[in-house]
Structure 1
Amino acid sequence: MSCFSCCGVEVQHRTAGLGGNSNNNGKSLRSLVNNLSGKAGANKQKIAEIQKVGKVKVSAHIFTFRELVVATDNFNPDCLIGEGGFGRVYKGYIENLDQIVAVKRLDRNGTQGSREFFSEVLMLSLVNHQNLVNLIGYCADGDQRILVYEYMANGSLEHHLLDLPPGKEPLDWNTRMKVAEGAAKGLEYLHDFADLPIIYRDFKASNILLDENFNPKLSDFGLAKLGPTEGKDHVSTRVMGTYGYCAPEYAMTGQLTTKSDVYSFGVVFLELISGRRAIDLERPAEEQNLVLWAEPLLKDRQKFTKIIDPLLEENYPVKGLYQALAIPAMCLQEDANSRPLIGDVVTAVEFLARPKVDGKVTAESQRNSSFHVKSVKERSLKGGRDLVIELYVESMRTPHGLAWYSGKKMIIAPTDLWRNGSASDSRSEGCVFDSRRVQNPGPIGSIVDPDCILEICRAARLTPSSHIDRIALSVAISKLSEGNHFQSIDTFLQELRSRPDLQNNRFASHSLILYGQAKMLNRAVTVFDEFYNEGFCRSTKSLNALLVAGLIAKDYEEVKRIFMEFPQRYKIDPDLETYNNAIKAFCESGSSNSVYSILVDMKKGGVKPNSTTFGTLLAGFYVEEKYEDVGKVLNLMKEYGIPVGHRTAGLGGNSNNNGKSLRSLVNNLSGKAVATDNFNPDCLIGEGGFGRVYKGYIENLDQIVAVKRLDRNGTQGSREFFSEVLMLSLVNHQNLVNLIGYCADGDQRILVYEYMANGSLEHHLLDLPPGKEPLDWNTRMKVAEGAAKGLEYLHDFADLPIIYRDFKASNILLDENFNPKLSDFGLAKLGPTEGKDHVSTRVMGTYGYCAPEYAMTGQLTTKSDVYSFGVVFLELISGRRAIDLERPAEEQNLVLWAEPLLKDRQKFTKIIDPLLEENYPVKGLYQALAIAAMCLQEDANSRPLIGDVVTAVEFLARPKVDGKFTTESQRNSSFHVKSVKERSLKGGRDL
C-alpha cells in the first residue's frame, strides 16, 4: 500500500486562529494557549508572555490521531523519511488540504519531550517567514505527540553536505551561499522582526531543511526561547543544543543571547565552506573539532584554500572564499559582544549569494563603479550597541560584475563617521570607500577595490574637526589581501573544543563509548560507562537503554556470548575480539518485543569474571525501561554466583565487609513508608528539583537515615538513580556519604543514606538563617580538607577511578562534628581508559562550578573536579555563591568577580567573608587564595592534581599552636622524619 492511499476519512479543519480573526472560524490564540497549557510539560511562563501578543494571523490545525494514521497509511515504514532520538518522521498526505506533509511522531521516551513539543507548537504559531518551516498542525491525543509540517523535498542540509551518499553530486558554491543567506534571514526574522524576539538555540545543519529548489527553512523549534525581557540582555536557561555549535558563553553560564545564535551560524557557515562536520570523531584528533582545526588556517592567507571542501575541486571563487571566511571568523569570536548582529551577517551573506554576471562567479573588483545613496536607515540602538547604518543604493554602474541592485543593503567603510569631520588616514589602501570624502548624506565615494568588502579589522581612528554627531559603525571591513584581518581577534577561539551530541551520533559501530581501563586482580579489564545510542542504528531500530556501567574482562582469546532474555524490546550484541575493544551493536531485525542483556563468559578452562566485574556489568545493562523488575537481575546474579555487598561489590567474592546482598538493599516501598512515617511532611529535611529528602528511622538496623524520594518528573531520573547506586556500591571512604540502600518498586526511586546531622555546607555557608553563627575559619578549612580527600579517593584510590562531576556546596554534607562527606553521585563518571586523557560525555553539572573546558567540549577529566573544588573553596573563603543573580551584574559570577582581586595582593582582603570579621589569619587567607587560584586556571593542564591540593589544604586545616593562628614561617626550625608516606604516583606527579 502506498503512503498516499485514498480514504474516505474527512480531515476536520479545527484550526487555532491566532488573533481570533481567522477566516476559517478557528479557535483564538487564547484557546490554543489554554489547550496547550493544560498539557503536561507546557511552559507556563512562556505561555503567559505569549498571551500578551495580540495581532497574530498564523493558524495551526489540530489533528486527531486517526487523521494522521490515515495520512501516513498507519505510519507505514515505506513512508519513513527520517528518524533520530526524538522519534520518526513520515511523509504523508492530507487529502482535505490536498497537501503533502511531513509528520513527526515523537517517541514517548525520546529526546524531545512534552515540553519541547508544546514549545515548538507555540513558537511556530507565532512566526511566519519564508525561511522558517511552516507548521501545518499538531496532534496531542492522549500520550501521542505529533507535529505536521510542510514537506521539504530535499530533506536536510546535513544530508546533502555532511552525509553525502556515494555518487551524489555535492552542493555547488552558489547553492551553499544561497542556503547560508536564507538560513541567516530566518534567524534575522526571529531576532529582529518576530512579534516576540526569539532565540533559536539549535542552529545546525540537520535543522536546516531544503525545498525542491534548495531554498532553506529552519525547522525544529523545540529548544527555541523567547528573548530577554526589557532591561535584560540575556535569558538564563539550562544549556541545551548540540556540541560543536554551542556558543562558549552559553555553554559556560547558561546565559543565552541572540549572539549565541550568531556563533552557531558561524559554525554552520564554516561547515558549508569546508564540507566538514562541526565535530567529527572519525578524523585525526587535531581535526575533530572544526572550529579549532580552522583557527590557525584562518590566520594565514596562504592556507585559506586548505579549508575549502575538496569536493568543490576548483569550482569556487578564490576571492569569494576569502570574503566568505571573514563571516565565520566574525561570528565565532569568543567575546559575544564582538560578534556582529545577525542583520549585519545577512547583509554580508547577501553579497556572497547574489547572482553573478553570465552565470560566472566574479569576485574581481570593479574599480570606478559609481553610485549614490537613496536613504540611510538606523538599524537599532538596542542593548547599547553601536549604531549600524544601512545604505540603500538607488543606482549603480557595474559594467562587468559585482551587481549591486537597486534597494540592496550595503555595509559602509570600517571607520567612525563625523559630520563635517575629516578622517586622517582611516582608509586601508584599496578598501571600499575613500573615507576622507565621506559626507552625511550625499555622494559617498567610489568603490576602489571591493575585494575588501565583508572583511574584518578594527575601526580606524579618526581626528574630528568638530565634535558634532559621532556615529560608530559596529561592522568593520578591512583589506583581506593584507592578511591582517585577524590581528584584532588573535585569541578569538581560545580553548574552544566541542564534541558531537551523541544522541545524534554518526558512529554505527560505536554504540558503546569506551571510558576506562584499569588493572584489577592482575587482570586487564575494560570499563564501559554510559550508553548513547540514538542514531547508531538509524535504518532499523534505535536502542532505548540510557546507561551501561560495568567491566568486561578482556584477557582471553575468544568469547562466548550468552544472551539472557528479558521481556523488553531490543537486543545488544557485543563482539569482544581478543585484546581489541571492538564493540558492535545491532538492532534486532525480527520482533521488537524482547531485549537481551549480556553476560560474558570465558572460554572453557578460563577464569570466570569476578563479582565486581560481572555484577556491575549485568546491573548496568539492565537499566533500560522496566527498572522495577529488579528481581530478574537479582536472580540472574544469583545464577552466576554474583554477591554484591551493601557498601562495595566484593572483589572476586572476597569482600571483607560481610555486607548484605543486593536483594537486601531493595527494600520494599512499604518499609520506606514506615521508616519515614508515610513520608510525613514533619520529617521533611530538604527538597529540590530532584525530589524530597526525609529523615527516617530503620528499626531493624536501629539507624537514623536520610531518605531521598525522587520526583518522577524531577531533574534526577532513573539513569542518575542507577548510576548513583552503582557508583556508591564501588566506593568506601570516610568523606563519602554511605548508601544504606535503595528502592526501585514500580516507578518509585528512593535512595537511603546515612543521616548527616548538620545538613549541607550550602545551608551553613550560603543560606545562613538570620541570627545563626557563621562557620569559623578553622571549620571552613576542615570542610575543605575533608571534601578534597573525598575527591582524592575517587580520583586516585577507588578500585576504578571516578570523576565526581558535581562538586558543589549543596552536595557536601556535614555530620554532627562538621566532618564533610560528598553526596549525590548521580552524575559521577568512571575515569578515562588507558591511553585516553578524558571522558567524552554530555555536559551536566551546575552553572558556576563547571570547568570551562568541560562546559565547552564535553571532555571530562579529574581536573574538571579540581576546578569545581576551586570554586567551592572560593565560596568557603568569601561566603559568596558561585552564581548569585541578586548581586550587581559585575559580581554575579564569583570566579569572574574574584579574578582581578586575586591578581592584586592589596585587594585579597576584599574577598574574605565579612561575617568572619577579622577572625581569620591574614597569611592563611593569602595561602588559601593561592590554592583557589591554582585550581581555577583556565588551562586544565596547569591545575594541580587533587592529591597536591589535599597536601596544601591539610596545612591550612591542621591544629594551630595554643589554639592561635600561627602561619608565620618558622625559619631555622629543625625536625626529624618519623615516617614517610607515599601519597601516590598516579598521574605522573612527584612522590
Structure 2
Amino acid sequence: MYFSTTLILLLTILDILVYYLQKLQEQDNGEQKNSASSSSLDKRIMPQEDNGELKSSASSTSLDIRSMHEEDDGERKDPSLSSSSLYKQCQVFSLAEIKLATNDFDDAFVIGKGGFGQVYKGKIDFGASTDVAIKRLDCNSNQGETEFYAEIEMLSKIRHSHIVSLLGYCETDMILVYEYMPNGSLEDHLHKKRANTTSYSPLTWIQRLNICIDAARGLDYLHTGTGVQHRVIHRDVKSSNILLDENLASKIADFGLSRITPASQSGATTNVYTGQIVSTFGYMDAEYFSTHRLTRKSDVYAFGVVLLEVLCGRPALDFSLDEEQHSLAGWAKHCIKRGNLSRIVDPSLRGQVSAKCLKHFGQIAYECLRTSSKDRPTMTVILGRLELVLTWTMQSVERASNRKYLGWSLFLTKAPWSVISDRKTGGHDSGGIVTASQRVVSPSEDATPLIFKEFTYSDLQKATCNFRRDCFLGEGGFGRVFKGWLDRVTYTPQKAGNGLPVAIKKLNPETIQGFEVWQTEVTLLGMLKHPNVVKLLGYCQENMELLLVYEFMQGGSLEDRLFRKGVDALPWSTMIKIAIGAAQGMAFLHSVNVIYRDMKASNILLDEDYNAKVSDFGLAKVGPSDGMTHVSTRVVGTYGYAAPEYLATGHFYVKSDVYGFGVVMLELITGLRALDRNRQGAKVNLVEWTRPFLTDKRIHKIMDPRLGKNYPAKAARKAAELVVSCLKQEPKSRPSMEEIVSCLQDINAISLKPRK
C-alpha cells in the first residue's frame, strides 16, 4: 500500500515536469458548440429598464493572452479612475496598425469569441515584435461603448502581476489590445476539449492551487489596494475570465462590467446600488440579485464557485446531469455540508489531495457561498487560507517522495556546526540537528512545521549563474544576497528569467553572524506563516556553506525606497499601507511568542504592490514560557532603532520591538534616516531631534518636504501621536502591536477622505 501510494505521488511529480515540456496546440475557439457546459449556458442577465425583460448575451470565452508587459517598479500612481490623465498608460493605435497586426482581421487569426466580440491573435512592434490579443467589438453585441470605455478606464490605471495588462486601444472600431496569454483560460483547462477530441492534460492539484492563489491575489488587490479613493468590484469573476500565461500563472481579465466603490467604506458595506443586474448565471450572488446591492462579497461568492470548479472539474452549470446537480454551487454545498466531499472531487485528482487539504479547501469554498454577504470571508482571508492548503500539500509531497526536511528537531537549539546535516559523518547518522542542553518553547504549540526543500550547493550555483555579479542584490550582516531562478513547482534551478524568481542569501564565512543565526532563521520561519512575514522556501548546508532561499520581493527594502538617491517620496496612502503591513507582521509574531529584536527599515521588504513583509529573523528570540516579560541576552540589534532599556540592561521586552517600529514610522513620515552623521549637531539622532516637534503639534515642520501638502493634516497629527506613544521610555507605557494596527487603520480611514 505504501509503495503504491508513493509511486502514484512520484508519477504525479513526474507528470508536472513533463507538462511544462509539452507544447500546447493552438485551439480553434471560434467554433461555438451547443453543449451543456457553462460556456454555452453562461448568460449575462441584463434587465431592460423599459419593460424588465431579461436579455441574454453570450458570455466571453477565453482571451488567449500571453504576459508581455513588465511593470515600472519606480512608478506607483494613485489610480483615481476619474482623473483627467485617463488612458495615459495605454497606447492609442490606428485602425491601420490593428489591421496590419491581424492581417485585416483574417479569420485564421481568431482565437476566441465572447460577449464583446471576436478576439484575434496579432503581432505589434513595441521595439520588438510582440504577440498580443486584440478584442474587437461585434456590431451585433449587447455590449458596446459603455463596456469599451469601462475596460480602458479600469485597466489603463491598474497594474498588477495577476491582472491582465491592457496595452492599448483603437477608438475607431472599439478595439482593445491586451498582453497575450498562451495557455488560454482556466475554463479551457478544466472543461473544454481540444480539436481531434483530445483532452487537455489535466491540471494537477498543485497547479490548481497555484492558479487559485494567483487569482485571489489579483482580486484582493482590486478590493483593497488600487488607490486612495477607490476600490474595484470586478462583477464577472468566473473561470473563463481567469487567464493563464506560459507558466500557468493566472491573471484576472475582462473588466467591462466592473464598478468602482469608495475606499472610505469597508468590508461588506462597500457597495453600489445598480439599476441593472449584470452577472453570469451559475456565479451570481443571490443577495445581489434580490437587493441590487453590489459588494466586494459578490466577487467572493463567484470566486467560491470557481474554487468548486477547480475541485470538482465541473462547470458552474451543467443541465446534462440530474436536476439536483444542475447548479454546481447548490449541489457541492449540499455535499460539503453532509461531509461527502469525496463524492464531488474531480476523478483526475484522486490520490493527489490529502483528506486534510480536501476538507479545508472545501470549507473555504463553502464559506464563500454563504447566503449573507457579511458572513463570507474577505479575499485577504481567502488568500491566506489557500496558501496554507498549498503548504500542507507540499508537505505531503515532500514526505511521500522521501525528501529531506526540517521539523521539530529545529527547535532543539545550539547544535554543533558539524551535526546540522542528516548525512552520515564519522560512521554515525546525525539525524538532523541533534538535541542539546537547551530547549526553547515553540512559537505555537499546535503549529505544524513547514517543509523546506534542502538544496544542494550546485543547485543554487546554477540558479544564480554561479553567484554572478549581475545577480547580486545586496549585502547585510549575514552575507550577500543574490537573485536566482527556480521552477515554480519543483524548485529545480532554471535559466535567468525563467520560472520563479527567488532571493538567495549566502553566508560570508568571515562574518560575525554564522551558524546560530542561520539556524534561528530556519527554525522560526519553519513555524511561522503569515502574509506579512517573508517566506522561506529552502536552505542549503553543505560543507562550510550555509545558504537560505526566500521568496523574491520585487520592491526591495523600505530603506532603499525611502533613502535611495533620486527616488520620489512615497504617497501618504502608500506610507500608511506599508506601516499597516509591517505592523500586522509584528503583531502576528508577538501573538505566537516571538520577539523580533531587529525592527528597522532595511528589514521591511516590499512586493511590487507595496505590501510589506517582515524579514531577517537571525536575531529573533522565542519568548520565555514562565511568564517573565523579557529575554536576557547580550546586546544586539541596530543602533538608532534599539530601545533604551535594551541598550541599558540587555533585557528585551515585547515592547522593545514597538520602540523600533516607532522609529520606522518616524523615518516614513520624515523621509530621514534614524541616524545620519552627515546631519549637524542634535539632528544626527532622528528620535531626539524630532521629539519636540511630535509633542507640540508642529509635525508639519518635520514632514517629508517631498510630500508638499499632499497628506491629510489630521492623519499626520494622529501618526505623530502614535510615534510618541511607541517611543515612550517606559516599555509598559507603549501600545501593543495589535493596538498599533488598529490605530493605523483609523489613520488610513482619515487619509481616504477627499480634501475639500
TM-score normalised per structure 2: 0.44
Higher relative contact order (CA closer than 8 Å, sequence separation 6+): 2
TM-score normalised per structure 1: 0.34
Larger relative helix fraction = 2
